[in-house]
Amino acid sequence: MGLSCIILLYICTHNTQAQETSNEKREEAEEVIAKYIQAIGGKENLLKINSMTLEGSGDAGRFGVEMPITIHIKNPGKNKVEIAIMNQKMVRATDGEISWAVNPFMGKGQAQQIPQYDNDTRNNVLYTLGKNLIDYKERGYTAEYLGRISFRGKKVHHIRLVSDLAEDEYYIDARTFYLLMAKVDFANNYYDNYEKIGDITIPHSIEGEKNDFKIQVEKVIINNDIDDTEFEMPFSQFNIEENILLNQNIEDETFDISEEDDVNPNEIAQKFLDKIGYPLKVNTCKSLRVKGVMFLGSIEVPFQMYQQKMDKFRLETSIMNEKVIVASNGKQAWEKDPFGDATEAMEIDPSELDKHALFLDFGQDLGLYSMPSYSLEYLGQTHVKGKDAHVLKLIYDSNYEEGVLYFIEKETSLLLSKYNKFTGEQIFYDNYQMTDNQTIPYLIEQINPTEYSNTKIKFEKIFFDEKLDKNLFKLPK
């Protein structure tokens, strides 16, 4: 036999042995998975489940706060997680097409659309019970057995599921065949305390990676009647008569102009600017410190805002004894958010700071009306929170005809509200106080229909030209 024949025979034999080994690993993995499915109730019983509600309590590890949690699941592709904390409710949900969330602790008291869930959740119940394990073949996975190892003092079967787009790993108890750990989307979830509910055995203790969260399930309801509206994103409406609108437009023709036909809008604007002491010192001072409270639903969140020479900014809020910071040193913008992804200070896009302009928005941009590229119109009269108001429309240029509406109280000449017709954002001003010979609103409320949020800010103290620590604005290393 020639050398080439020997080499060819070796390759064929080696490939055959490798294929046999691969088939054995696949078959062994499939056998373990089949025993897991049987251990928790059998596929026939699992497929009968169309909906499920889990009630219990969660513990966000690093905050040490116990929170009631309710999870609703329904096929196909619907789920909703509700977490109650400090008399507020955080929600994350999807109706299968639109995913949305409510986070009152970050100024998101209204539902906000978020990116659609990436997981294939056509059978949401099976995914919840065992990630991709129960119907892995239908989801396009192949199984591989990686051997027996020790995990948290128990012998477990180590299984890998592989598809074109993902690779998951699972630890299944070698004695009970219950799932103890699933590594899906690069995150580990741990399962324990299995209890039987009807024909199904369900883990009543679920833990996230590095103790980020723990859920203790206290009640499980199977095949309950959950209406589809439970998963749909809600849209709120505010009082139309008071021009407090969300998801609607304020139309020009709603304003009454019958009483005063010859009103000079420039005079009304100038009276307001004179009343507040325009230009305000917040734009000309060397440094600024503002202390106050943000209202997120019924929760009061203390904050401090620092600004230096208009290019350095820092907003610091305190939530559950944790500080959330967003800042800029003039060159870099950064944030630290222990409730989100930025548990350590990290650089962000400077445009993210634009949403915090509300802290210095006192309506003084109306002072631009005399600029050549701007024009000011008088639209008439209306009522804002029970007060008679003139309505002015400031147009930035001919390409921006929507403009911004300013509602100025007739009696005091103070700004009551500002409405951006292009974005739908509306801001209300109240509780004007004299500070350094300037009249400043100490209560500001912003309604943002784009983010479905409602933010109310109450200023307590405003300090000008203090000496600020330059390290306040630096990105921590």
Q: Which two tokens stand for residue 178?
A: 């219950």
Residues 6+ away with beta carbon under 8 Å from 244: 238, 385, 426, 428, 447
452 with 108: CB under 8 angstroms?
yes
| Nearest CA-CA partner of 288 in 267, 309, 264, 302 | 309
Coil, helix or strand at residue 322: strand
Give dist(CA 418, CA 361) in Å, integer. 10
Task: Say how far apart CA 184 and CA 166 lie, in whole Å.
Answer: 8
Q: What is the sign of the dihedral through the CA atoms of 266, 269, 275 and 280? A: negative
Read out DSSP for 53-85?
Answer: EEEEEEEETTTTEEEEEEEEEETTTEEEEEEEE
Contact predicate 78/236, CB 8 Å: no
Closest C-alpha among 435, 437, 411 to residue 272: 411
Q: Read out DSSP for 158-175?
A: EEEEE-SS-EEEEEEETT
Q: Decide if 28-231 and 252-472 have a common fold.
A: yes
- Per-residue pLDDT, 17: 52
How confident is the model at residue 414, as a pLDDT? 95
CA angle 78, 121, 168 (to 5 degrees): 145
pLDDT < 70 regions, the chain: 1-22, 60-65, 87, 105-110, 115-124, 209-212, 235-261, 296-298, 340-342, 355-359, 397-401, 449-454
**CA 320 to CA 410: how far, in whole Å?**
43
CB 299 within 8 A of CB 109: no
**Whether residue 338 has a cis bond before it, omega within 30° of 0:** no
- CATH class of segment(s) 252-472: mainly beta
**CA-wise closest residue to 208 among 181, 183, 192, 188:** 188
Domain extents for the chain? Answer: 28-231, 252-472
Which residues, 6 or more positions from 120, have their beta carbon under 8 angstroms from its beta carbon?
127, 139
- Superfamily assignment of 28-231 in CATH? Lipoprotein localisation LolA/LolB/LppX (2.50.20.10)
The backbone region for 193, taken as left when phi is positive above 0, alpha when psi lies in -120 to 50, beta otherwise, is: left
Distance, CA of 294 to CA of 455 (rounded, Å): 7
According to the model, what pLDDT value does residue 61 have? Answer: 52
The DSSP H or E segment spanning 88 is: strand 88-94
